[in-house]
Amino acid sequence: MRAQDLLLVTLREPPAEAEIPSHQWLVRGGFIRRVASGIYAYMPLMWRVLRKVEAIIREEMDATGALELRLPALQPAELWRRSGRWDTYTAGEGIMFSLTDRQGRELGLGPTHEEVVTSLAADLIRSYRQLPVSLYQLQTKFRDEIRPRFGLMRGREFIMKDAYSFHADEEDLRRYYGCMDQAYRRIFARCGLKVLAVQADSGAIGGGASQEFMAVADAGEDLVLSSGDGRYAANQERAQSLPPPSAPLKVTADQCFATPGQTTIEAVCAAHHLDPTQTVKVLLHRACFADGPDQPVLTALRGDQEVNPVKLTNTLGRLLAERGTVLALERLDADILQDHGVRLPVGFLGPDLSDDVIQGVPDLVGGFLRIVDSTAADLAGFVCGANVPDRHRRVPGWPALGLSLTRADVRSAQPGDRCCHDPKTVLTATRGIEVGHIFQLGRKYSSALAACFNSESGDAEPMWMGCYGIGVSRLAQAVVEQNHDDNGMIWPVSIAPFEVVITVANGEEQEQCGLAEKLYGELRAAGVDVLLDDRMERAGVKFKDADLLGIPWRVVVGRNAARGHVELKTRSEKDVLDMDASQLLPHLIPRLQRQRRGGLPEAGV
């Protein structure tokens, strides 16, 4: 390819909305163009990268025995109603785009494909002899994200590789899940991405074991907590840890005391010589469901702890399973309650806050479901709000409150917490970009959609399922997030839009053009993805663009062309090798061959 023919439009300045380096560089290099919020055009350079990423994914998926297919993006609501997900995905904070066709039928644009693929499996798979089966696709997904941002990182239309496997028993599902884990590690390594495999929350999809692959990057939206010994790593959404021990507090009698204006834990502790671990704080939420009123929830935590909304939502989902999926968990803050005539003693709430306070608030029914985090539940004596302004209370223990409470783990593990597997190690925090996620779904979807097979003993049983996703477009941008410098992107050879750029220093010099053309022809003949920059631009402009685009190898045909010499340089290193042009291919080809299998160019040219 010649740079002239590439519709290359590079920008000097990053666009205002690009907050992170990878987004800035991809736009500046002309790889992507924003069409609307969360909707991007993949321009020719980006498309070349994406095709290479897809090729790597295909190779590794095919090697596991998975079969590629293509499922429709338009999906009937009926299927999603059968799995019970239509409401979760379209109402409340649901992210499915939905529409009604000319015949009045409801449809959704697929954010994921469990329903479609499970209904196909239900039709096609009858016998254990047909199992296991694994199906995958590389396809556009649609999600009406609440906060689309960071370019391709969180798009509303993006490319995903999704795979679904079907098994006769759980053991076989586990075996294949292990194969996918290995395949994913190879895919990311071949794309030149440094990832951490971490335990993950199973979210609205539900099911059993699940693992995310996090590309390590400061711009990552996820927080990973891991132990120094490499034995534990989890997304903070689900991470567990040992909380710091609490300072004992001896309370002999239930006793109120004045805390004027002391509305925070810090203020109460400072004024009364308490440690935050000796206090209990209270949070109010409403859990919303597809049908019926909202459930008021009161959560008590130890004063030094933070609530983990994902754990709390999952706990409520389990406790209130008969009400269906929790669509949303919203804070019941004082302003909302005040609108309904409720005057909460904010800053002075205690776990025994009366149910009366929420009577009459629209959409809320019944009393509080009272959850107490284990850290708080374990306290013998503690201090909490007295449910009247400017007063707190010393409580000799939970029985003194006479409440019906459900104990659960709803706190967020924090960096610095001790690990459960070894209290001598502590958790450290790393930011990550979720580039892949593998789940053992179990039989949730096969049961809902009647995807059964006849087992060896002749019984009809729901199939065991796994699902496995990779954010293809997000992955490509994550590679840039991990590999760039002040001058632009640094693509690994394996997925670079071009492997080599030949820059003609002076396009008016016949000798330079002639030698560049010759090398261009030879490299192409040798199967190298090469870009010839023969534009009539100043050498400086071409060098700048070559750096910006991040092509891993650069051959400069300049003044030394007169004596048959060229300069060879990698994008990531400063060193330049001056060599006889005849030596270029023997030097470069073996290196490229190695690097195509993954990783960045090795040090030194």
Q: Of 115 and 567, which has the nearer Cβ to ligand ATP?
A: 115
Of 433-441, 451-459, 503-511, 594-602, the window that binds ligand ATP (rule: CB under 6 A) is 433-441
Which member of 143, 443, 565, 571 binds ligand ATP (CB under 6 A)?
143
Partner touching 143 among ligand ATP, Mg ion, none, CB below 5 to 8 Å by kind = ligand ATP
For residue 303, state whether it binds ligand ATP (rule: CB under 6 A): no
Of 321-329, 385-393, 469-477, 582-590, the window that binds ligand ATP (rule: CB under 6 A) is 469-477
In the complex, the smallest distance separating the C-beta of residue 581 from ligand ATP, rounded to whole angstroms, is 43
For residue 477, state whether it binds ligand ATP (rule: CB under 6 A): no
For residue 23, state whether it binds Mg ion (rule: CB under 5 A): no
CB 104 within 8 A of CB 98: no
Using the Cα atoms of residue 266, residue 271, residue 272 and residue 274 in order, give the sign of their dihedral. Answer: positive
First to last CA, the chain: 24
For residue 154, state whether it binds ligand ATP (rule: CB under 6 A): yes
Q: Alpha helix (H) ranges present in 457-604?
A: 472-482, 510-525, 539-549, 581-595
One-letter identity of residue 211: Q
d(CA 574, CA 308): 47
Partner touching 307 among Mg ion, ligand ATP, none, CB below 5 to 8 Å by kind = none
Q: Of 370 and 474, which has the nearer Cβ to ligand ATP?
A: 474
Partner touching 154 among Mg ion, ligand ATP, none, CB below 5 to 8 Å by kind = ligand ATP
Q: Helix 510-525 to helix 581-595 angle, to the nearest 10 degrees?
A: 40
CA distances for 227 relative to 210, 213, 214, 449, angstroms: 19, 16, 15, 40
State which of positions 90-129 bind ligand ATP (CB under 6 A).
112
Of 71, 56, 171, 169, the residue nearest 435 (C-alpha)? 56
Q: Helix 170-190 to helix 44-63 angle, to the nearest 10 degrees?
A: 140
CB 40 within 8 A of CB 474: no
For residue 554, state whether it binds ligand ATP (rule: CB under 6 A): no
Of 564, 573, 557, 580, the residue nearest 605 (C-alpha)? 573
Look at residue 350 and give its three-state secondary structure.
Answer: coil
In the complex, the smallest distance separating the C-beta of residue 180 from ligand ATP, rounded to whole angstroms, is 13
In the complex, the smallest distance separating the C-beta of residue 411 from ligand ATP, rounded to whole angstroms, is 21
Residue nearest to Mg ion (CB): 437
d(CA 48, CA 495): 8
State which of positions 407-446 bind Mg ion (CB under 5 A).
437
In the complex, the smallest distance separating the C-beta of residue 68 from ligand ATP, rounded to whole angstroms, is 17
d(CA 385, CA 348): 4
For residue 85, state whether it binds ligand ATP (rule: CB under 6 A): no
Residue nearest to ligand ATP (CB): 471
Query: Which residues, including other chains, have CB under 8 Å from residue 182's CB and lie 6 or more apart?
Result: none
Question: β-strand 280-289 against 255-258: which pairing, if any?
Answer: unpaired
For residue 145, state whether it binds ligand ATP (rule: CB under 6 A): yes
Query: Which residues, including other chains, have CB under 8 Å from residue 97's CB and lie 6 or more apart?
Result: 108, 109, 142, 143, 144
For residue 191, give both structure tokens.
Answer: 């794309």
For residue 474, state whether it binds Mg ion (rule: CB under 5 A): no
For residue 435, state whether it binds ligand ATP (rule: CB under 6 A): yes
For residue 238, state whether it binds ligand ATP (rule: CB under 6 A): no
Partner touching 112 among ligand ATP, Mg ion, none, CB below 5 to 8 Å by kind = ligand ATP
In the complex, the smallest distance separating the C-beta of residue 537 from ligand ATP, rounded to whole angstroms, is 35
DSSP output for 204-238: GG--S-EEEEEEE-TT-SEEEEEETTSS-EEETTT
For residue 61, state whether it binds ligand ATP (rule: CB under 6 A): no
In the complex, the smallest distance separating the C-beta of residue 212 from Mg ion, rounded to whole angstroms, is 6
Partner touching 24 among Mg ion, ligand ATP, none, CB below 5 to 8 Å by kind = none
Query: Which residues, including other chains, have CB under 8 Å from residue 41's CB and lie 6 or more apart?
Result: 32, 33, 34, 35
DSSP output for 438-478: EEEEETHHHHHTT-EEE-TTS-EEEPEEEEEEEEHHHHHHH
Buried b (16+ CB within 10 A) or exposed e, 447-464: bbbebbbbeeeeeebbbb
Q: How many residues of this chain interact with Mg ion, rule: CB under 5 A?
A: 1
Q: How many residues of this chain interact with ligand ATP, rule: CB under 6 A?
A: 15
For Mg ion, what does the binding mask look like between residues 151 and 180, x meaning CB under 5 A? ------------------------------
Which member of 76, 432, 469, 550 binds ligand ATP (CB under 6 A)?
469
Partner touching 113 among Mg ion, ligand ATP, none, CB below 5 to 8 Å by kind = none
Of 116-124, 302-310, 314-322, 467-475, the window that binds ligand ATP (rule: CB under 6 A) is 467-475
For ligand ATP, what does the binding mask look like between residues 384 and 423, x meaning CB under 6 A? ----------------------------------------
Q: Of 122 and 435, which has the nearer Cβ to ligand ATP?
A: 435
CB 215 within 8 A of CB 184: no
Which member of 30, 108, 132, 155 binds ligand ATP (CB under 6 A)?
155
d(CA 172, CA 70): 25
Measured from the Cβ of residue 109, the count of other Cβ atoms closer than 10 Å reads 19
Which member of 45, 73, 117, 160 binds ligand ATP (CB under 6 A)?
160
Partner touching 158 among Mg ion, ligand ATP, none, CB below 5 to 8 Å by kind = ligand ATP
Q: Which residues bind Mg ion (CB under 5 A)?
A: 437
Q: Which residues bind ligand ATP (CB under 6 A)?
A: 112, 143, 145, 154-155, 158, 160, 434-437, 469, 471, 473-474
